[in-house]
Structure 1
């Protein structure tokens, strides 16, 4: 692996000097219980390479808290201790469970809502949190009154709840290079989250993104460690407050979580949850600085990564979790796991992982199987597999953070300082802060011939599929986990980019119309093209090429048509990462990288239009937080690399004040970059993939599944897990009539004849929870007819409660007479009897026909 930083920044002494305070060199206290090493015997590590950090907390106050914690821990039963180490998901836990099992935390998963209602009110949330608080502090059964903490993913505002202020994602905030702005955004996010009584967010993401194919690229601030460290510090102090200025956990702040420890932004090929092969020194210099500043800012929790370092899963990495993080760096908060990620540790399952406990994990995110996790862990302590001292260490860390956060002395959620203050939700000053963030995050890539700013009195045509779509401009982790299934109505305080343009032009007396496909009756003076990525989150956003629309080019074709008509083209590109779109940049007179601006996308128009004097009210100040690729296969183009050769470098950004040189015509030939890319065609993986949609159909009704529960009379469909959070669906036929789950196109038919020629199969993973009482069919259809195949025998032969992969040769459907050039139904599962299965990973796989479970050749 090549060094990703200049030689002068590889000097550990400079890193330490820049990121440590005067306390560097002080030896922190060792962990209360140190696990046996989980590193490979042949691996040589050196904790002395890492700096020692200074805690911001007063020693006397910490000693007083430690005394309280020690007294409390001494009174707890083993069951109560393990309960504190356990975090259950709201869909799988009740208030009575909290009381009975002494749970330390509850979370709402990325794809879940309060009682399945995404429109749940502030009052409903507070009532639920009050019930859980009262259960946790109920001592009638002899337990101890230890309030739980409620975890949520407020990662760009309180983005899970309708009406909240949605800020740009971190990649956009990286483009602002404005720590004070990031601090204020953290503060507002804390305020709006606490209106609902919640007290813990899984933010900020301080990953350093090194490969832009990674699906979480937009969750990190930058490829540059120094910028990540600076903005990560600001985010932590915004969310939690600052110990130095007395705002720390002052009733308007909540617990922050630095994540994902460590190196998740540097995995091989940018694959989420994969392996980071960096040397230890590279890990320190590139991926660790954000944790140094977070720890010295007093971050109360750190989340372990799904990924691995040098072959060892982070949730089982004793060296990095205990030897480095806790002992060397001196972090005395608690380490929280990610969604069932301990199950990825060899020999572990979601409800059984002593190796992860021993490695140094303190609180386990066990969404569904938390009861058996508690039972197994308690038994492992009694059997001597896990020393109780390790349990005591974990609980001590959790309780210490609860005391520091004021949770132990806080009233019930509805009685807290900000709770129920609905005027704070999407408050005008919060929205204005979001608009400021949008303006500061946009990066002007090209502005040839001073195409910008636009005279608002012009005839303006707005085109592109993303122009009037607030969910699209907000990206993943917005209302739903993947950011899908939203409409503009889900953003009552939001404004689309189109609305901003419309407002400016109408105010100036110009003419403006929205025509997404570019059709117009009167030739406009200028066309503003708004396009880009559709929402995605984490692993579902992993891609194999940076080339934009490699097999389509519909956006480029539209822009080239407008340009050929003599129309000036201004492009606004919505994305969570830089992509290779030289053809589209060539077709643009001006090109803006808008990232994922959030609910206040209208603020982009503030930058694009002039006043009557021809001067814009706001200038562009955003600069690239990630280097822009020159080639379609330039996946790792990071500042400081020995072979650094970007199209536009880190820190690049034009402005009206400093227009720079015109961008010349770029090479739009991908060359051999796309050759050899063997890509299966995904149909469904956690969600339906374009152009497909997942429907539940029964009794003449058709309901679209959009990452939410469908509770019908005939079929119930809900989110489920296979390898990770939300990558499957659970389907239950009630046995009271015919019903099917179908992948159908949204509009035009899809050509499948190429799949026949490529000897392709449609494959899927199935997890059988019950026996099929009546025939089960697979069905594929064209525009006029369909064909089904009986799969009952294969379904019932599959082991119960285990995943099994089935497949069918695509040729089977052509032989049945279907027109494979016009497929509208990719796959349906049909029965009229009782059946409960889970489905995942549905895709077309080439050159696999000879291995299909159902063959026709």
Structure 2
């Protein structure tokens, strides 16, 4: 079948096999009312599980009678392991610890599994030390095991959720949950912050890949399956050894924030319920023991303080009996709160604070005082403690002893085992979506001379994406994934098995003209904050991949593109330059799963056909970032549910390559490529002159020449709120070179509410001239120095008290593994 228009017509929908799809989304849901108070009676009642066990409840009551008030308050607090030691738990009986995105035993991101288990034992032992006759209650440890036990070296990493959504295979999702639980439990950790059941509605959002689909029905079909995989099935193997506590997150509406992480979901209550709430009933029915509340807001009110939703809907209407846990210092964003003081969140229904920072003892002391003075009612405290103890009993944490004594703990042979990798490999195969296969270029014929090119070909970190050993997925190499295999390695082995030849050449150069070129390229790893983007244009500032495709095509070589991305992107030019185009999303560590589908056997037939169907609509234009099935207008390039197979007789025509001319700004890119973002302007003051100079392009850099005391600032058109970036441990990063060494004191800062928070940087700048360098200062340093991060009017302030020559080619707010300056 040939067609000249790729859209959502009845013909196209029938062609891709989704003519019977019934969108659950009504257009009226997209109203933007001011109301932020939920009406629980409008939400369905659900039969949550497990049911309360009178014996368990009696045991909880007996324990609580022996607990002191301090013991109870301690249970409400979860602290990042980067900020607390096992020794601390001997005095402060904290309820839980977690490892944040970049936290690891000993601060070593690539710590082996044994180091995790050893630290788990240490925390457990400290929590159980008591000499006062009070009950010893073990600490539990939570981790973001979101696509496998992704913090641990050697673990099996599965495709991110967007790829799993393309599989339409709930049974396989349950197996993935089982593997994730087994590998996590082997390291002594008993709590996974998964599954994410966000329904992403704006693909600019940096967490789109954590969403199974834009369609709530797909999300709902997976949420219960993943919970059963992680925790086991009620009445069969629920929370038996090798299972971990599941967390359904982020309650509620995190996928509707207009492409901004921790933003505001503006939607009617019916839309919040039907779209963003769809994944919760199946997960709660499956017995999810914890729910994590979102950073985001609903119609202007922070979720962490929204009692009508937490208590009214989740706890009372839905009957949830487990732990309601916060997200990374999210309570500090509730109006009237700080990271160290937020009774509002507990009174709204939060049971456990998630805290990061060095002042967790202040949070403990403030919460204790507020219980003592009645600001937090004793009934609310006891309810929260009861929920926490209930989960600790049901999960076995209260009875199984040291983590290393658990039945499956310490068996590191299962971490990245062949059996687990086989399941991940199957998931990779099923998640691939074939968008184009003109002239049936695929599968690659046996015995072919295959050129494998592109920066993603031999790059396990790139194919795995964010939340892979490090928070942003950056700073790793292939050797850090000892049980993984790159896409190149998988193709090489598959081609060799057919008698052909495969050659890796990242830049696409060759000596003998190949029969076909497979080019693997796409987005580089990112997680929240860094992943948010202004439009869906792929690589607007680097056309090297497009040039590579064009060069190969011009040489008469059939080109197969394997595109790695955490979301659908505008890649019309790249699709046009390819004979076949595969959306591989973020497949994880098992790159050979790609080769399983692309490379034919010696008999000319592939072992596996393409299986995946788009779980997100693919944009026709760069500005179609809120393109969702069931809404009007709906004019995608490839509709929801699209996905060719080898039997498809479809020719994709030449696509419109009109380049965007009005790309929106990105406030976190303060000064890049010679442009100041968002209507801001550069303002010199005092003994300084600012001009332009060149680095990568003509006049793409600022040149500041100080002759005495002066300031160079970037004034925002409107004040911006950088509290979420500050909480996320992002940094202000300046790319610079000195043209003359500083002769006075130099400071770098931000200004909020008319007060600058300045940090001395003279020594860090150095004295070497002529070389480009980078300086990264955590945003929290500017906050500590007095800047109001909620209303930043000057996003960059550089001062000098003496002569200084400095060129600046970039100023951005982003994640940096090791900032140049540390502060409390």
Instruction: Give the 3-state SS of the residue equivalent to 1:461 in structure 2.
Output: strand
Among candidates 9, 16, 20, match of residue 24 of structure 2: 9
Distance 1:682 1:461 in 2: 40
Among candidates 427, 434, 437, match of residue 444 of structure 1: 434
Q: How does 1:590-629 map to 2 (within 5 A)?
A: 590-629=580-619
Aligned-pair CA distance for 1:100: 1.2
For 1:147, the equivalent position in structure 2 comes to 138
Conserved 8 A contact 1:175-1:625: yes
For 1:52, the equivalent position in structure 2 comes to 45
Instruction: Give the 3-state SS of the residue equivalent to 1:270 in structure 2.
Output: coil
Conserved 8 A contact 2:113-2:152: no
Among candidates 520, 536, 539, match of residue 529 of structure 2: 539
1:543-588 per-position Cα deviation (integer Å, ceiling 9, x unaligned): 0010112233221121112111111000000001000110000111
- Structure 1 residues 771 and 326, CA, compared in 2 at 3 Å: closer, same or farther? closer
Instruction: Give the 3-state SS of the residue equivalent to 1:92 in structure 2.
Output: coil
Distance 1:787 1:256 in 2: 40
- Structure 1 residues 803 and 142, CA, compared in 2 at 3 Å: closer, same or farther? farther
Distance 1:799 1:131 in 2: 32
For 2:332, the equivalent position in structure 1 comes to 343
Instruction: Give the 3-state SS of the residue equivalent to 2:503 in structure 1.
Output: strand
Distance 2:671 2:587 in 1: 28
Among candidates 318, 335, 339, match of residue 329 of structure 1: 318
- Structure 1 residues 216 and 826, CA, compared in 2 at 3 Å: closer, same or farther? closer
Distance 1:800 1:280 in 2: 41
For 1:758, the equivalent position in structure 2 comes to none
Conserved 8 A contact 1:780-1:787: no
Conserved 8 A contact 1:781-1:818: no
Instruction: Give the 3-state SS of the residue equivalent to 2:230 in structure 1.
Output: helix
1:700-740 per-position Cα deviation (integer Å, ceiling 9, x unaligned): xxxxxxxxxxxxxxxxxxxx9962233149xxxxxxxxxxx
Aligned-pair CA distance for 1:138: 2.0
Among candidates 517, 520, 523, match of residue 530 of structure 1: 520
Instruction: Give the 3-state SS of the residue equivalent to 1:150 in structure 2.
Output: strand
- Structure 1 residues 129 and 798, CA, compared in 2 at 3 Å: closer, same or farther? closer
- Structure 1 residue 82 and structure 2 residue 70: aligned? no
Conserved 8 A contact 2:549-2:578: yes
- Structure 1 residue 159 and structure 2 residue 159: aligned? no
Instruction: Give the 3-state SS of the residue equivalent to 2:530 in structure 1.
Output: helix
- Structure 1 residue 727 and structure 2 residue 730: aligned? yes
Aligned-pair CA distance for 1:500: 0.9
- Structure 1 residues 786 and 837, CA, compared in 2 at 3 Å: closer, same or farther? closer
User: TM-score w.r.t. structure 1 length?
Assistant: 0.79
Aligned-pair CA distance for 1:52: 0.9
1:174-220 per-position Cα deviation (integer Å, ceiling 9, x unaligned): 11110110000100100000111110000010101111000000011
Aligned-pair CA distance for 1:683: 7.7
Aligned-pair CA distance for 1:675: 4.6
Distance 1:796 1:503 in 2: 50
- Structure 1 residues 53 and 798, CA, compared in 2 at 3 Å: closer, same or farther? closer
Instruction: Give the 3-state SS of the residue equivalent to 1:540 in structure 2.
Output: coil
Distance 1:441 1:826 in 2: 34
Distance 1:133 1:85 in 2: 17
Conserved 8 A contact 1:192-1:424: yes
User: TM-score w.r.t. structure 2 length?
Assistant: 0.82
For 2:213, the equivalent position in structure 1 comes to 222
Aligned-pair CA distance for 1:405: 1.1
Distance 1:258 1:797 in 2: 34
For 1:561, the equivalent position in structure 2 comes to 551
Instruction: Give the 3-state SS of the residue equivalent to 2:727 in structure 1.
Output: coil
- Structure 1 residues 241 and 610, CA, compared in 2 at 3 Å: closer, same or farther? same
Conserved 8 A contact 1:496-1:600: yes
- Structure 1 residue 459 and structure 2 residue 462: aligned? no
Among candidates 388, 392, 395, match of residue 385 of structure 2: 395
1:378-422 per-position Cα deviation (integer Å, ceiling 9, x unaligned): 111122211111111111111111111111111210000101112
Distance 1:810 1:340 in 2: 30
Distance 2:568 2:768 in 1: 38
Aligned-pair CA distance for 1:312: 0.5
Instruction: Give the 3-state SS of the residue equivalent to 1:641 in structure 2.
Output: coil
| Long gaps (5+) in structure 2 | 1-19, 28-32, 673-694, 697-722, 739-746, 814-819
- Structure 1 residue 277 and structure 2 residue 266: aligned? yes
Conserved 8 A contact 2:750-2:758: no
Distance 2:250 2:774 in 1: 47
Conserved 8 A contact 2:463-2:564: yes
Tell me whether 62-71 or 599-608 shows the greater mean CA deviation: 62-71
Conserved 8 A contact 1:216-1:538: yes
Conserved 8 A contact 1:156-1:168: yes
Conserved 8 A contact 2:249-2:292: yes
Distance 2:666 2:412 in 1: 51
For 1:202, the equivalent position in structure 2 comes to 193
Distance 2:772 2:412 in 1: 53
Distance 1:44 1:522 in 2: 67
1:278-318 per-position Cα deviation (integer Å, ceiling 9, x unaligned): 10001111011110111111100000001000111011010
Conserved 8 A contact 1:721-1:728: no
Q: How does 1:800-815 map to 2 (within 5 A)?
A: 800=785
- Structure 1 residue 496 and structure 2 residue 511: aligned? no
| Long gaps (5+) in structure 1 | 13-39, 685-689, 692-719, 730-740, 750-760, 828-834, 840-857
Distance 2:104 2:322 in 1: 28
- Structure 1 residues 798 and 358, CA, compared in 2 at 3 Å: closer, same or farther? closer
Distance 1:322 1:796 in 2: 36
1:510-530 per-position Cα deviation (integer Å, ceiling 9, x unaligned): 222211112222221111110
Please, what is the CA RMSD of the aligned residues?
3.5
Among candidates 260, 272, 287, match of residue 250 of structure 2: 260
Tell me whether 464-473 or 367-376 shows the greater mean CA deviation: 367-376
